[in-house]
Amino acid sequence: MKSAQLVASIQENIARVIKGKSRVIELAVVSLLARGHLLLEDVPGVGKTTLAHSLARSLDCSFKRIQFTSDLLPSDIVGVSIFNRQKQGFEFVPGPIFANIVLADEINRTTPKTQSSLLEAMSEAQISVDNQTYPLHQPFMVIATQNPAEYHGTFPLPESQLDRFLMRVQIGYPSPEEERKVLERPQSLHPAEALQPVATAQDVLALQQQVDDVLMEDSLLEYLLAIVLATRQSDLLSLGVSTRGALALSRAAKALAFVRGRAYCLPDDIKELAPAVLSHRIMVSRSQGLGHRSFEQSERIIQDLVESVSVPV
Amino acid sequence: MPFNQALRLSSVLLAAAAFIGLGLGANLPEWLLLLTGISLILTLLRTLDIDRFQRVFDRMRLSAMVWNILTVIAFAGFWADLLWISAELLPAGVHFLLILMVIKLFNLDQRRDYLHLYAISLMAILGSAASTTDLWYLPVFLAYLLMGVWTLLLYQLTKESGTGHSPASMTENAAVALQPGRREQITPELFWLANGLAVGALCLTVLIFFTIPRVSAGFGQKGSGEGLRTSGFSETVDLGMIGPIKRDPGIVMRVELSDRTGLQLDRFYLRGMAYDRYDGKSWTTRLAHRRALVESPAGTFSVRHISSRSPRPVGQLIRQTILLEALDTAVLFAAPHPESISGQFLAIQSDPTGAIYLPFPTSSRIEYTVHSSVTPVAPADLQSQPAVYTEVFKQHFLQIPESSERLGVLAREITQSKSSAYEKAQAVEAYLTKNYRYSLDIPSSVQTNPLEEFLFERKTGYCEHYATAMVMLLRAAGVPARLVTGFLATEWNEYGNYYLVRQRDAHAWVEIHLPNSGWVTMDPTPAVSEPSGDSQWFALSRVMDTLRLRWNRFFVQYNAADQLAVVRGLKEGTAVVRDRAWNSLSLLLAPAGDFAGKTLSYIVGGNVRLAAGFLSFVVLGVGLVIWLMQRKPWSRWRRSGPVIREHIVIGQIYRGVLKQIERHGIAKPRNATPQEFLLLVQQQWAAAAEFVATITELYCRGRFGKMILTQQEIDLAYHSLKQLTQLDPPAHT
């Protein structure tokens, strides 16, 4: 099957479950193809878990869900070495992280210690237990969700970990018509369970390889760097975008171009993705109001900065 | 078979053909033959999509680093091979080439890897050509040629299949470019077309090879035969015909002298033919029977023979190397009197007057070397009385046309007081030089008696008139004499050490016979002051001519013998080649350096104005270079990837669109992407949106996608822009 058709059918498959959210689905697929991890941030009950679930179901690859709670331990995620009496030695029992797609539900509910145990897994696609390194499955993608409305008993994610997510996406409420369609659906079966896989793990790896070959013209690279530089020089921000952030934006733009059927990036790809890819990597300076960094505020700042950079002609 | 697979197949077969060529020709070690052979077979099987071998290759997939290290090791091995093991350039290079080929075969991933493989194969086939002259090379080479045509064809086809289609296929580009195209198959038509193309090209090449002469053959050179009829290479010389030639600056030959000591610098005679009979209007020769010269040793012909009664004493020998342009004459020119001639000739002829001929005129530039002896007049001849000649000799060299009584009177008048033949000749020479005026402006009307007209009425003429008059006067006075035609070289090129001889140097002069010295050259024509050839511009033109000569010598005339020499040099070792190359280069460049040195000394010599001019020239040049370095007009093209004209064109069209729309008050915001601008246009000027959309899409593909747009697409963009300019302005709200 042609790669363009493959990408389209994955999106269609998910859209059967998540109604009226084609943009969010597209971003999820972009994260997958850019070898990135996705952070879904929204109020409960708008389909964060369902989105992750249906993406995994569409791909015919292993899927594990970890419900993060305050008493979760790192070994609950990565696995543990236990003594095997027959073999007279320790044996590693892999944890739920050993899957192609891992849903980390309500990730901000657990302690920073446990959150950090995800770090190595997310950036290096491997984990270390008892000085032993175990590679994770490929493709590997973490989809984390967090609830921004609750603050009691939550631990905001550390900066280093936020930087490891390719993008942060808000799902939002569906429109009344779409919501009506959801209600009219038979409730006996979870809609994601009914999905048939349309692509294999091998297909995904091949697609990821092809994304690397998407052309980003020199002037676009300069455009991208100008945006990154603008975040570092802005007075509104106390922390700009890191080099990892610039790299993420470039990868995401290539993946978006690929998803949209192009072998080359356009300025639109970069401009469109900048808020989703960059907004969680910055720190709004204290002059912009104390308290928590709201999703909307940082996205707006990024958007304004992008508008201040001129597009190459 | 899909294009991609076919390309891989033909690439491997191309490499295989080159390898077979090397394997049969060069003496290769068995392990190398085995290694390369196995690699080729494995790659071939892999290309045929046999899964098992595909897996073997996947397992063998080493990191790029390992391959790089292997390449470096191979390179080090090449030096070791060159210096110690084979100790010769050709075998060491061939071994290195094969190892590179093996490395590349396991690394055929990207298109540039294929290009590398082609380069290696080309060098391999060249290497095999250098190591053999056997007939089996022909089929191998033909196979290589066929595969080459196929590979180039498929390479281009697969390269373009991903780009430049209709806009509808844009969405598939990513897929097409990266996956083997399944739709594009090799049809029977294409198969026969490609093979036919290869065979046709080969036939055409063979045809051209056998019918079109070599570059050095001078086929396309200016036909210079027409005007040369009178300057000494035909059976007759009509008086008054040489005039027009004397104005032709066309180059006839170049005469290189190794040693110029003891020669008169500004007058160097190049003898063509001699004539003995004058009928009042034209000269003919009655001694035209030619005999073949004896070749001894090989390539050298001895000219010296018993043409004159008394054997000529051998004087100082001067060696001339003559590069003769293509003429329609068989006469070979040389300084009087030639002793021996050498060159690449099959046969050389000579007539009793000492003229040298080829058996037939050549159509190409030829080079030959002549040794001529220069003999001073024997002391005995300065005083002695005229000798007694045989009747046959008198018939030839004392013949005078009838009705020339005035001539006899004049001859007696001039030579009365002189006793010896040589003194008489000197007297006649001096008389003519002193009393007659040189001019080329002689009416070429039919003259009943051009000689008498010259001697007694007009007293104006040129070399032929002078020479004819002198021969006739001497014969009337009883001195045997004959007319000689050829060239008088005056233009010495000090940078290349040769005389440049032009058409206008055609000349006629006199030879008198002295009993003890033989034939002696005399010239009654006064030296004509030519336009000064000593300014710097003439020097520059001489440098240019020298470079041209060297170019001819070292590049145009590069022939099979030189080729063999190079191959031999390669086999013998690198030092020889280096020396040869260095020699050629320094020989080629020496005149330029010489010229620069002379110019410098000229400036130092006090020519202030020239120095100022030269200095300002240098300053201007340096300024220009600095300006170019700062502006970097080429940096636009130096960006990654080749910038193709279409990219620039579509960018210009898009900017034209922006300008056009801005005229109607819709400016593109600095921060708007092309798509956002398109939306803006759609909102504010719906009529223009269609055209802007078309151009925007093409622009994005060309500008950001670096795709090559077809001519139709460029035309479409132009057309849209044109329609845009013709639209009514938008109704502003």
User: Do B153 and B257 sit in the same domain of this protein?
Assistant: no
Contact A167, A144 (CB under 8 A): no
Q: Would the CB atoms of A264 and B704 count as touching at under 8 Å?
A: yes
User: Do B57 and B171 sit in the same domain of this protein?
Assistant: yes
Helix then strand count (H, E) for chain B reads 24, 20
With tokens 């008489």, the residue in question is B424
CA B169 to chain centre: 50
- Its domain, for residue A200, covers 1-208
Asked if residue B395 is part of any domain, the answer here is no
User: Do B659 and B611 sit in the same domain of this protein?
Assistant: no
ipTM, two decimals, is: 0.84
Alpha helices in chain A (DSSP H): 3-15, 22-33, 48-58, 74-78, 112-124, 159-162, 176-184, 201-212, 218-233, 243-259, 267-278, 295-307
CATH number at residue A286: 1.10.8.80
Chain B residues within an 8 Å CB radius of A214: 174
Asked if residue B497 is part of any domain, the answer here is no
User: The tokens of A90 are what?
Assistant: 């320790």
First CA to last CA distance, chain B: 60
Q: How confident is the model at residue B212 (pLDDT cuts 50, 70, 90)?
A: low
Q: Does B173 touch chain A (CB under 8 A)?
A: yes
Q: If we measure between CA atoms, which residue out of B598, B489, B614, B615 comes closest to residue B539?
A: B598
User: Do B82 and B173 sit in the same domain of this protein?
Assistant: yes
Q: What is the rounded average pLDDT of the residues B116-120?
A: 89
Our count of domains for chain B comes to 4
Strand duo A101-105 + A63-67: pairing: parallel
User: Do A48 and A134 sit in the same domain of this protein?
Assistant: yes
User: Do B25 and B130 sit in the same domain of this protein?
Assistant: yes
What SS3 class is residue B486? strand
pLDDT tens-place string over residues B309-323: 445 556 678 888 888
> Looking at residue B732, what is its pLDDT?
59
User: Do A136 and A265 sit in the same domain of this protein?
Assistant: no
Asked if residue B119 is part of any domain, the answer here is yes
E strands present in B276-315: 277-278, 282-284, 291-292, 300-302
Which regions of chain A are under pLDDT 50?
none
* Cis before B732? omega within 30: no
Q: Would the CB atoms of B654 and A313 count as touching at under 8 Å?
A: yes
Q: Would the CB atoms of B676 and A215 count as touching at under 8 Å?
A: no
Chain A residues within an 8 Å CB radius of B676: 268, 271
* Percentage of the residues of chain B whose pLDDT score is greater than 70: 72
> Looking at residue A239, what is its pLDDT?
84
Of A2, A261, A264, the CB nearest to B706: A264
Q: Would the CB atoms of A215 and B654 count as touching at under 8 Å?
A: no
Q: How far apart are CA B396 and CA B289, in angstroms?
A: 14
For CA atoms B577, B583, B586, B588, give the dihedral sign.
negative
Domain boundary among the residues A147, A173, A208 is at A208
User: Do A204 and A254 sit in the same domain of this protein?
Assistant: no
Q: Would the CB atoms of A311 and B658 count as touching at under 8 Å?
A: no
Q: How far apart are CA A252 and CA A27, in angstroms?
A: 9
Q: Would the CB atoms of A311 and B640 count as touching at under 8 Å?
A: no
List C-alpha distances in Å: B411 to A308, B280, B295, B400, B487: 107, 17, 44, 12, 28
User: Do B96 and B196 sit in the same domain of this protein?
Assistant: yes
E strands present in B212-276: 236-238, 251-257, 268-275
List C-alpha distances in Å: B269 to B431, B501, B523: 22, 10, 10
What are the backbone angles phi and psi of residue B124, rounded to the nearest 5°?
-65, -45
> Looking at residue B177, what is its pLDDT?
39
Asked if residue B438 is part of any domain, the answer here is no
Q: How far apart are CA B88 and CA B96, in angstroms?
A: 12
Strand duo B316-324 + B282-284: pairing: unpaired
Asked if residue B412 is part of any domain, the answer here is no
Q: Could you give the angle at which helices B463-476 and B405-415 cross, rounded to 10 degrees?
A: 80
Our count of domains for chain A comes to 2
pLDDT tens-place string over residues B515-561: 877 888 888 888 765 554 455 667 777 777 777 777 766 655 555 55
User: Do B65 and B191 sit in the same domain of this protein?
Assistant: yes
- Greater confidence (B396 vs A24) lies with A24
- Its domain, for residue B299, covers 226-381
List C-alpha distances in Å: B336 to B228, B236, B353, B409, B522: 20, 21, 11, 32, 12
Check pLDDT > 60 for residue B447.
yes
Asked if residue B489 is part of any domain, the answer here is no
User: Do A184 and A158 sit in the same domain of this protein?
Assistant: yes
Q: Does A308 touch chain B (CB under 8 A)?
A: yes
User: Do A81 and A108 sit in the same domain of this protein?
Assistant: yes
Q: Would the CB atoms of A213 and B639 count as touching at under 8 Å?
A: no
> Looking at residue B314, what is its pLDDT?
62
Q: What is the rounded average pLDDT of the residues B606-631?
A: 75
> Looking at residue A38, what is its pLDDT?
92
Q: Would the CB atoms of B706 and A217 count as touching at under 8 Å?
A: yes
With tokens 């292993």, the residue in question is A62
Please tell me which residue of chain A has the smallest CA distance to B675: A268
* Percentage of the residues of chain B whose pLDDT score is greater than 90: 0
User: The tokens of B619 are what?
Assistant: 């300053």
Domain boundary among the residues B357, B381, B405 is at B381
pLDDT tens-place string over residues B81-105: 888 887 777 788 888 889 999 888 8
Burial of B336 from C-beta contacts in 10 A (0-12 / 13-18 / 19+): buried
User: Do A87 and A222 sit in the same domain of this protein?
Assistant: no
User: Do B44 and B155 sit in the same domain of this protein?
Assistant: yes
Domain boundary among the residues A172, A191, A208 is at A208
User: Do B359 and B238 sit in the same domain of this protein?
Assistant: yes
Check pLDDT > 70 for residue B444.
no
> Looking at residue A188, what is its pLDDT?
67
> Looking at residue B554, what is its pLDDT?
62
Contact A227, A272 (CB under 8 A): no
User: Do B325 and B363 sit in the same domain of this protein?
Assistant: yes
> Looking at residue B662, what is its pLDDT?
85
pLDDT tens-place string over residues B338-389: 888 888 787 888 888 888 888 887 777 788 888 888 777 777 777 766 667 7
Asked if residue B692 is part of any domain, the answer here is yes
User: Do B322 and B361 sit in the same domain of this protein?
Assistant: yes
User: Do B552 and B677 sit in the same domain of this protein?
Assistant: no
pLDDT tens-place string over residues B239-257: 666 666 667 777 888 888 8
Check pLDDT > 90 for residue B426.
no
Q: How far apart are CA B714 and CA B650, in angstroms?
A: 7
> Looking at residue B521, what is its pLDDT?
87
User: Do A5 and A120 sit in the same domain of this protein?
Assistant: yes
Asked if residue B376 is part of any domain, the answer here is yes
CATH number at residue A99: 3.40.50.300
> Looking at residue A266, what is its pLDDT?
92
- The shortest C-alpha distance from B672 to chain A (Å) reads 6
Domain boundary among the residues A166, A185, A208 is at A208
> Looking at residue A27, what is its pLDDT?
93
Q: Does A307 touch chain B (CB under 8 A)?
A: yes
- The shortest C-alpha distance from B155 to chain A (Å) reads 19
Chain B residues within an 8 Å CB radius of A220: 704
